[in-house]
């Protein structure tokens, strides 16, 4: 409609404005709620050209559109704005066309190139937490949005299944797990613990012992006992403790940290963990068996958590596989002269020319680091999916620097697709008590949180009734739908880029700007439609303003999908649907629908309701949220 108006003005520009104008000068915006109108033409850009007052110009264009072109039924000029009113038939036609499109808002599948979306990417040494929930819901949702926008999507994750961290858990379990009466160490089977939780427990155990040993070492050093430490360590300690003299508190704390680091590096337990890593990279059978066993436990635990989250993956990548290619790439880079080797054998890249630092790619003991395997993973993926138009990495913004460097290195290695890699950088999730810190035990466990929101949905839903005649199974499904819907909506309604506050009390709220608010609207409509039976055909009827507002909002849906897809932002869709539901609730409360006496009005209102439900279900689907038919 706006396009038709725009062209009408452009085609008659000489008559209206006295000169031809560029299409960019015809600017529309949404009409403010307090004025009548369906769209608003901004007159300011045209005023200068026409050389008349905004008022006169508005009158002239308005009259032209109304009387000559009969595109609008009414108009008003307020300030520099021309508010235009569309004929009712336009809205009826719009609703009819939306109603006829079962996939309304979505582009044809496969109409856009393939994209890979990476999300989750956990370490296998600890269970998933609240931060992973934001990550998983976000990644899954972006994948769904891109699908709706017409892309083929490959959902993936990189599983950080190797490295020093998992060696720490392995060591702690091997050396410190108590034996039961059968002489077995703790396993998920004999303890009933979830696999990822059990392995996480031993990671914590390692950390405890590690810190204790470091503390002992610092005490020994403080007492002048340097028996058994190598000379460089002792020299450094002497240097640091001398530096403590005469410094202010802050500087002293900094130096103390360095001493602690020194002590940590001198521990036997860390040396043993490092030794495990070297043996693992050398494929030592004993270490490998321990590793596959413990990772197996973790995967079982993760799969359970993913199932509850309602996320899935099309393809998995394991660092234990991709790091090998990563190492090859490092050698390739050395030959090309992109990287350089230090005397101690470690490999680096100099990025000072790009205003970044020197970055490590291979340790002096030859083992690989995060960057090494990420290089391998990226190349692997483009080898596996040559038609990929890009990879989206859903990773926290604490790793902004890492990805900047990663993409830059890929480019320097000559991979032209490096530019098509995008870091979907999302903000941290804070708690009312502040940051989540594993050391302080303030980490919110993903499984626990999901259980809590479902439990809370159970209580609150049972209180409200509406459950008559449902089987136990149906009730359980409903509680899960509401609990998880609320949690997902809470985490997705905020702009991904922004840091957000997670208030547990607010996340289980059912009123206001929440997932259950939207789900409830859907359930009410379904109830209405069930009672209504077949909707009769209708031809012409008057429209209330509240009905027009809803049709307008519905008509925006395809643009909203596009905007969400281009900005990788589920929040755009979350807020859109909330607006739609608010408009619908106003309408629902102010007119009769099923009980309307006028047959045409009743049919139109039911059709409108049906399409609101359709868009609610579709848009919530893009967020990974299911909507119930009753609640």
> Phi, psi (5° rounding) for residue 381?
-65, -40
Among residues 223, 387, 511, 540, which is the contact residue for RNA, using CB under 7 A? 511
Tell which positions 473-492 bind RNA, by CB under 7 A: 482
The alpha-helical segments, DSSP class H, found in 75-163 are: 88-99, 130-148
> Closest distance between RNA and the C-beta of residue 495, in Å?
3
Among residues 235, 314, 398, 536, which is the contact residue for RNA, using CB under 7 A? 398
Among residues 526, 618, 619, 626, which is the contact residue for RNA, using CB under 7 A? 526
Residue 120 or residue 514: which is nearer to RNA going by CB? 514
> Does 31 engage in binding with RNA (CB under 7 A)?
yes
The alpha-helical segments, DSSP class H, found in 355-428 are: 370-384, 400-412
> Does 604 engage in binding with RNA (CB under 7 A)?
no
Helix, strand, or coil here: 42? Answer: strand
Among residues 188, 310, 376, 516, which is the contact residue for RNA, using CB under 7 A? 516
Tell which positions 71-100 bind RNA, by CB under 7 A: 78-81, 83
Among residues 494, 561, 613, 622, which is the contact residue for RNA, using CB under 7 A? 494
For residue 345, give both structure tokens: 């054998």
Torsion of CA 262, 266, 267, 270, to 10 degrees: 90
Q: What is the maximum alpha-carbon separation in the chain?
A: 100
Query: Buried (b) or exposed (e) across 569-582, using 16+ Cβ within 10 A?
Result: bbbbbbbbbbebbb
> Does 527 engage in binding with RNA (CB under 7 A)?
yes
> Does 493 engage in binding with RNA (CB under 7 A)?
yes
> Closest distance between RNA and the C-beta of residue 51, in Å?
14
Instruction: Spell out the residues 6+ positions from residue 460 whose beta carbon is closer than 8 angstroms to its own.
Output: 508, 510
Among residues 251, 307, 342, 383, which is the contact residue for RNA, using CB under 7 A? 342
For residue 249, give both structure tokens: 């508190």
Q: What would the 3-class secondary structure string for 258-293 be?
A: HHHHHHHHCCHHHHHHHHHHHHHHCCCHHHHHHHHH
**How many residues in the shown chain lie near RNA by CB under 7 A?**
91
The Cα 398–Cα 375 span in angstroms is 19
Q: Which of 155, 142, 153 is nearest to 573 (CA)?
A: 142
Residue 137 or residue 153: which is nearer to RNA going by CB? 137
Residue 22 or residue 93: which is nearer to RNA going by CB? 22
Among residues 21, 71, 114, 164, which is the contact residue for RNA, using CB under 7 A? 164
Tell which positions 133-162 bind RNA, by CB under 7 A: 160
> Does 34 engage in binding with RNA (CB under 7 A)?
yes
The Cα 123–Cα 196 span in angstroms is 10
> Does 360 engage in binding with RNA (CB under 7 A)?
yes
Tell which positions 413-452 bind RNA, by CB under 7 A: 427-428, 435
> Does 223 engage in binding with RNA (CB under 7 A)?
no
Q: Which of 97, 95, 87 is nearest to 4 (CA)?
A: 87
> Does 471 engage in binding with RNA (CB under 7 A)?
no
x-or-dash pattern for RNA, window 175-214, by CB under 7 A? Answer: ----------------------------------------
For residue 41, give both structure tokens: 């033409």
Q: Which residue has the tokens 């790009």?
A: 354
> Does 499 engage in binding with RNA (CB under 7 A)?
yes
Among residues 215, 524, 552, 610, which is the contact residue for RNA, using CB under 7 A? 524
For residue 396, give both structure tokens: 């926290």
Instruction: Spell out the residues 6+ positions from residue 95 whose beta carbon is closer than 8 angstroms to its own.
Output: 551, 554, 604, 607, 608, 611
> Does 461 engage in binding with RNA (CB under 7 A)?
yes
CA 456 from chain centre, in angstroms, equals 24
- Give the interface segment with RNA, choosing from 25-33, 181-189, 192-200, 469-477 (CB under 7 A): 25-33
Q: Answer for the pair 280, 167: CB distance below 8 angstroms, yes or no.
A: yes
> Does 102 engage in binding with RNA (CB under 7 A)?
no
Among residues 22, 312, 354, 357, which is the contact residue for RNA, using CB under 7 A? 357
Among residues 29, 89, 331, 442, which is the contact residue for RNA, using CB under 7 A? 29
Tell which positions 558-597 bind RNA, by CB under 7 A: 571-572, 575, 578, 582, 585-586, 588-595
> Does 113 engage in binding with RNA (CB under 7 A)?
no
Residue 514 or residue 618: which is nearer to RNA going by CB? 514
Q: Answer for the pair 200, 302: CB distance below 8 angstroms, yes or no.
A: no
């Amino acid at each position: 409609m706006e396009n038709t108006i725009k062209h009408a003005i452009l085609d008659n520009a000489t008559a209206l404005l006295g000169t031809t104008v560029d299409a960019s000068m015809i600017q529309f915006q949404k009409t403010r709620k307090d004025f009548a109108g369906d769209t608003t033409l901004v007159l300011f850009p045209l005023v200068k050209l026409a050389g008349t007052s905004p008022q006169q110009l508005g009158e002239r264009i308005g009259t032209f559109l109304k009387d000559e072109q009969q595109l609008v039924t009414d108009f008003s000029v307020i300030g520099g704005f021309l508010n235009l009113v569309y004929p009712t038939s336009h809205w009826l036609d719009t609703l009819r066309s939306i109603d006829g499109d079962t996939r309304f808002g979505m582009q044809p599948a496969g109409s856009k190139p393939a994209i890979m979306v990476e999300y989750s990417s956990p370490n296998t040494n600890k269970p998933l937490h609240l931060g992973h929930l934001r990550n998983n819901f976000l990644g899954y949702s972006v994948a769904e949005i891109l699908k709706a926008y017409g892309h083929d999507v490959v959902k993936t994750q990189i599983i950080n299944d190797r490295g020093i961290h998992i060696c720490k858990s392995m060591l702690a379990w091997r050396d410190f797990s108590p034996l039961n009466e059968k002489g077995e160490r703790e396993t998920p089977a004999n303890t009933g613990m979830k696999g990822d939780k059990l392995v996480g427990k031993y990671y914590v155990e390692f950390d405890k012992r590690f810190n204790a040993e470091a503390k002992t070492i610092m005490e020994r050093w403080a007492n002048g006992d340097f028996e058994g430490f190598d000379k460089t360590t002792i020299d450094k300690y002497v240097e640091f403790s001398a530096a403590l003299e005469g410094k202010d508190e802050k500087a002293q704390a900094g130096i103390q940290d360095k001493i602690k680091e020194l002590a940590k590096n001198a521990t036997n337990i860390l040396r043993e963990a490092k030794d495990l890593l070297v043996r693992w990279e050398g494929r030592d059978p004993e270490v490998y068996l321990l590793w596959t066993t413990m990772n197996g436990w973790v995967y079982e635990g993760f799969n359970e958590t993913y199932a509850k989250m309602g996320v899935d993956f099309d393809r998995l990548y394991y660092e234990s596989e991709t790091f090998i290619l990563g190492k090859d790439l490092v050698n390739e880079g050395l030959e090309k002269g992109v990287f350089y080797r230090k005397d101690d054998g470690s490999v680096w890249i100099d990025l000072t020319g790009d205003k970044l630092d020197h970055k490590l790619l291979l340790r002096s003991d030859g083992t690989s680091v995060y960057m090494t395997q990420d290089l391998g993973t990226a190349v692997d993926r483009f080898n596996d999916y040559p038609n990929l138009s890009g990879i989206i990495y859903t990773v926290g913004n604490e790793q902004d620097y890492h990805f900047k460097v990663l993409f830059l290195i890929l480019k320097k290695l000559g991979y032209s697709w490096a530019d098509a890699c995008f870091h979907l950088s999302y903000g941290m999730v804070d708690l009312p008590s502040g940051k989540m810190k594993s050391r302080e035990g303030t980490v919110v466990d993903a499984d626990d949180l999901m259980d809590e929101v479902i439990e809370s949905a159970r209580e609150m839903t049972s209180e409200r009734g509406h459950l008559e005649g449902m089987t136990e199974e149906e009730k359980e499904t409903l509680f899960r739908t509401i609990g998880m819907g609320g949690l997902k909506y809470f985490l997705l309604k905020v702009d991904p880029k922004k840091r957000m506050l997670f208030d547990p009390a607010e996340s289980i709220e059912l009123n206001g700007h929440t997932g259950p608010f939207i789900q409830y609207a859907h359930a009410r409509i379904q109830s209405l439609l069930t009672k209504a039976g077949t909707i009769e055909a209708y031809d012409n009827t008057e429209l209330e303003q509240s009905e027009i507002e809803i049709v307008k909002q519905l008509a925006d849906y395809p643009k909203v999908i596009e905007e969400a897809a281009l900005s990788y932002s589920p929040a755009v869709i979350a807020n859109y649907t909330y607006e739609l539901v608010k408009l619908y609730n106003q309408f629902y409360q102010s007119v009769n629908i099923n009980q309307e006496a006028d047959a045409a009005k009743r049919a139109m209102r039911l059709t409108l309701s049906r399409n609101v439900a359709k868009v609610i279900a579709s848009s919530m689907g893009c967020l990974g949220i299911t909507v119930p038919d009753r609640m």
